[in-house]
Amino acid sequence: MKKWLKWFLIIFLILILAGLFTAGFYVSSIYLNAKTLAIDEDALNSSQLYIEVFDNENKPIKEFNEINKQYVSINNLKDTTKNAFISIEDKNFYSHHGVNYKRMIKALLNDIKARKLKEGASTITQQLIKNTQLTSDKTLERKIKEIALAQKLEKKYTKDEILEKYLNVIYFGNNCYGIESASNYYFSKPAKDLSSYEAATLAAIIKSPAKYSPTKNPDNCLKRRNLVLNEMYKDNLLPANEYNLSINKPLSLNINNEPKNKLNSYSQSAIDEAVSILKIPARQIALKGYKIYTYQNQQKQIALESSIDDQQINCDFSAIVLDNKEHKIEAFIGKSAYKILDNKRQPGSCIKPVLVYAPAINEDIIYPCTPLLDEKTTISDYTPKNIGDVYRGYISAREALSKSINIPSVKVLSYIGIEKAKKYAEEMGFEFDEKDDSYSLALGGMTYGVNILQLASSYTTFANSGNYAPAKFISFITDKNNKIVYVNKTVENQVLREDAAYLITDMLKTCAKTGTAKKLSSLNMDLASKTGTVGKANSKQNLDAWNISYTKEQTVGVWLGNLDNTPIDFAGGNQPTEIVRKYFEQIKDNSKFDVPSSIIEKEIDATELYENHKIVLAGNNTPERYTQKELFSRFNLPTDVSNKFIQMEKQSFKGKVTGNTAEISFNAKSYITYTFYSDGKKIKEISGLNGSQNIIIPLKQQKQTIDIEYFITINPEVCENEKISFIKTKSEEKHNDKWFI
């Protein structure tokens, strides 16, 4: 062996040993330090817990802030209920001393392969420690502390005591802490009465309450429930007859709906946000005495609640008020048996400004006045339809958006490109599935959709000069000693140019005046709005109804529907819009949208727009009555200028003989005067007419010539003429004359 290679291997070996020694010393020091930590008995045993939540004036919010804690003794639970959790979570629970080393080594090897801390291999004892004593961070230090404290816990309590504490603190989703609470919510019965398949359902949830939620992801939950039953059967903890009966049972729930608003109150939503921020369960937030200070505005909260109460809504609903500049959630209310903000719904036409029209304007693809052909069409095997199967021909982008017409939206998306449009929407808070790659996105056809917070937050981009940031419930959090441990710091991202954001706002102001949100037109406010309605496939019934409206200062969002997809009797332009109107009647908002310096008003040639569907600037000679004022960005102005009032294009006239009359057909222009002469005598003159015309003239002479003179009405010197001659000849039939051109 060469000398240099020998020294290289020696040095390499020394480095490895030094690394292992250092790592061992590091792990040992954490472990030994953790051994000295005291176990928080209150966290293990407390049953009456409450989280203090405050509004923007630091006044307590008196809603449902209790941690839903109902204790059940292990002796009152069936063996099958206990076995469901043991079989799926910790088969060796009764034999280990807090840690399953074999299982941990296997998980560690899998983590090394995945190059991240993915598998925990935690025993029931470790899970109890994690949920009551530590954060949920996936770090090596936390894991070592978890092991040390689990071993300590095993020396202090019996296995049944540990299992009892575990079942009474574990989280089952939908604000359910503990098996008694979960049993009462999901099955409307006490935990002592759970059947085998019901207990297996609850055991299935706890691995990931979101992923295996029986209300949100029932298919996932059913598969894992059956896995739990299978493990119980393999472990000889479930008789064959009971297994066969349970495995074939559907995922049948009996949701306890009382109190209806508990899961969706403002304070509960703030607590959920705090769980995400602090990375500890809500139960630990209560135990550690954290206080949550929010942005809730009591005046707006009361107004929002009363606006919904006035409508007597008989379905699930949610409504929200956001501060556009500060990205604060000032009011929120929801009613459902499930957590509304944990669920996503199809946004319907409310997606159009975010995904379609704003990107198209920002990319200089369209103007608000751009004519779009509304016609039956197929794009990439997708054939969209308008409501009522009605098609309007050429309409402006402004009208298409304000009246929520489908075909133009799909066409504009095709001009932008799906991927580019999605990037814009993602920068405004949308999340897309990999299957979201169809032009149906233009109409809100997403795999999963959005919740009301995401949708309303995206609209603040338009009111906030093109800048986006997700809205938040929490301003700051303090610990039990009133020391601030968290402060919300908003970081904005500029998604749109300021002028593009304003042009969308101006288009949506039209929606609030004469479009689908015209119920808001009675409000004397500078207000923009968009509605959305999601219909049930192959049905005339609806599943979701939306309205998102905003002023310069605030955005209000309303959703009506049912999270179990029961049809509703509402549409976006009706009850949701009426709720917004009621809200703004109570909350006077006199703010005005600022017009950016990059916005300019220009006159265009209206005749070019309606005749040729082109955006052409009015020329110096274009009469005022033939102009139309439109808004543009200085960065994207039309370049063509009209010269049609100083030049005349040849017109096309067609003659036809019927008996002894001549019929002359042509396409008239409203700004041209047409005069018809026969033998030097004026027989007809028309002006100010637009579109197809038919002129009938009697034929009397052997040869009759019709002279047609036409000129620009306001400038007769710009003129042209045309002649059409008609000749009478003898036909083969006796005594019968015929006219020919």
The helix/strand count (H/E) of the chain reads as 22, 23
CB 44 within 8 A of CB 158: no
Report the Cα 33 to chain-centroid distance in Å.
Answer: 47
The residues near 46 (Cβ < 8 Å, ≥ 6 apart) are 69, 287
Which entry of 349, 409, 633, 678 is annotated as an active-site residue?
A: 349
Classify residue 377 by burial, with Cβ atoms within 10 Å: 0-12, 13-18, 19+. middle
Distance between start and end Cα atoms, the chain = 110
Which entry of 89, 164, 399, 630 is annotated as an active-site residue?
A: 89
The residues near 158 (Cβ < 8 Å, ≥ 6 apart) are none
Classify residue 288 by burial, with Cβ atoms within 10 Å: 0-12, 13-18, 19+. middle
Helix (H) or strand (E) holding 23: helix 3-35
Structure tokens at 596: 């950016």
Radius of gyration of the chain from its Cα atoms, rounded to whole angstroms: 36
Structure tokens at 78: 């069936």
DSSP state of 274: H
φ, ψ for residue 646, nearest 5 deg = -125, -5
d(CA 305, CA 683): 71
Q: Hey, what amino acid is at 417?
A: G
d(CA 358, CA 458): 11
591 is catalytic: no
539 is catalytic: no
d(CA 435, CA 648): 54
Q: Within 13 Å, how many C-alpha atoms sit on residue 104's CB side?
A: 13
Dihedral sign of CA atoms 470, 474, 476, 477 in order: negative
Three state DSSP letters for 705-740? EEEEEEEECCEEEEEEEEEEEEEEEECCCCCCEEEE
d(CA 92, CA 123): 8
d(CA 382, CA 275): 43
Q: Hey, what amino acid is at 683?
A: I
d(CA 125, CA 253): 29
d(CA 343, CA 63): 22
Cite the active site residues: 89, 349
